[in-house]
Structure 1
Amino acid sequence: MQTIVQIIGQPGSGKTTLVAELVRHFTEKGLCVGTLKHSSHAYELDKPGKDSHLHRQAGACPAAMVNAKMAALYFPASDLTRPEKLIQTYYCHADLVFIEGWISGPYPKIEIWRQRVGKAPLFTHVEKVCALVCDRVPADTGKPCPPIFALDDIPDIAGFIHS
């Protein structure tokens, strides 16, 4: 059965580092792990002026770039490119999928929180936060805190995700 987990947190909290460490941990155990980075900002993913970009500008949908090492497939954002649809289509082989970001998404979430970022934890107002990875236990937030893990406790975090 596939496990899908969102890794959320404020900018600068260490989401990407945590995702990379978890991917490394699980792939070393022989699991197939996929990732999906979600951003609420609109920006160009392709390189303007390159062939694939020019193809898209001319109306190709999808447009792809393939070389000897990897491939990229470009689609305009639509209902078909929502994270859950992409997971259904392209991640069906993965044992685990980590989504970095997408705070409003429907999957269980692990929040990474660092006091130095200077913002309150998200778990107090974001649904489905099932664990907190942090450098310090947050002050009383008025809401019960989910299970807490240290930033460097990758084996225990991994065990919590995939037991």
Structure 2
Amino acid sequence: MAAGARVFGLAGYSGAGKTTLLEKLIPHFVERGLKVSVIKQTHHDFDIDRPGKDSWRQRQAGATEVLVSSDRRWALMHELRGKPPPSLEVHLARLAPCDLVLVEGYKREAIPKLEVHRPSLGKPLLYRDDSHILALAGDERVPVPLPWFHLDDVTAIAEFILQHGRIP
């Protein structure tokens, strides 16, 4: 795992607002001087490459990994080619040292999580089947025996995450 990092997840169904909440939380943590990384799990097909680019052509030719590097960033693309995806633990081990890893998705992992829930989506609450969900956030209060936050109360949500992770 990323050396010294605390891991905290956001779980919920598509459209609940996990990504939007993360976009608001990250600057809050960065302003406090924390180095933050994010791991996002998706069930949709995605590609960070573009057809015709050199790296795309190299992957199409059969390369298992292609690393693209510039003076501003680098990205490693790894083709699974039918193999199962790596576990969250394997991905955590790949990260550079940081203070906090926010995980979007991996809703069945045994990590502390905040459930993001919008009743209007008509989806069931996840906390009932997951003892790792410590609190809920949403746009409408729902009667739950856990701490509840409004999605717009980013400061309170961030403080909950920091307290839970014992992060200064």
TM-score class, shorter-chain normalisation, is 0.7 to 0.9
Which region of structure 1 is more displaced relative to structure 2, 70-79 or 147-156?
70-79
**Helix, strand or coil at the partner of 2:156:** helix
Q: Is the 8 A contact 1:40 1:102 kept in 2?
A: no
Matches within 5 A, 1:17-32: 17-32=20-35
**Helix, strand or coil at the partner of 2:71:** coil
Aligned equivalent of 1:116: 120
Q: Is the 8 A contact 1:8 1:111 kept in 2?
A: yes
Aligned equivalent of 1:138: 142
1:146, CA displacement in angstroms?
1.9
Aligned equivalent of 1:157: 157
Cα distance in 2 for residues equivalent to 1:116 and 1:48: 38
1:42, CA displacement in angstroms?
3.5
Aligned equivalent of 2:11: 8
Which region of structure 1 is more displaced relative to structure 2, 118-127 or 17-26?
118-127
1:137, CA displacement in angstroms?
2.3
Aligned equivalent of 2:47: 44
Q: Is the 8 A contact 1:64 1:72 kept in 2?
A: yes
Q: Partner amino acid for 1:30?
A: G
Match of 1:71 among 54, 60, 74: 74
Q: Is the 8 A contact 1:3 1:95 kept in 2?
A: yes
Q: Is the 8 A contact 1:38 1:102 kept in 2?
A: yes
Give the number of aligned pairs. Answer: 158
Which region of structure 1 is more displaced relative to structure 2, 103-112 or 44-53?
44-53
1:105, CA displacement in angstroms?
1.7
**Helix, strand or coil at the partner of 2:38:** strand
Q: Which runs of 5+ in 2 are unaligned?
A: 164-168
Cα distance in 1 for residues equivalent to 2:87 and 2:57: 24
Aligned equivalent of 1:104: 108
Normalised to the residue count of structure 1, the TM-score between the two structures is 0.86
Q: Is the 8 A contact 2:35 2:100 kept in 1?
A: yes
Q: Which runs of 5+ in 1 are unaligned?
A: none
Cα distance in 1 for residues equivalent to 2:142 and 2:46: 34
Aligned equivalent of 2:147: 147
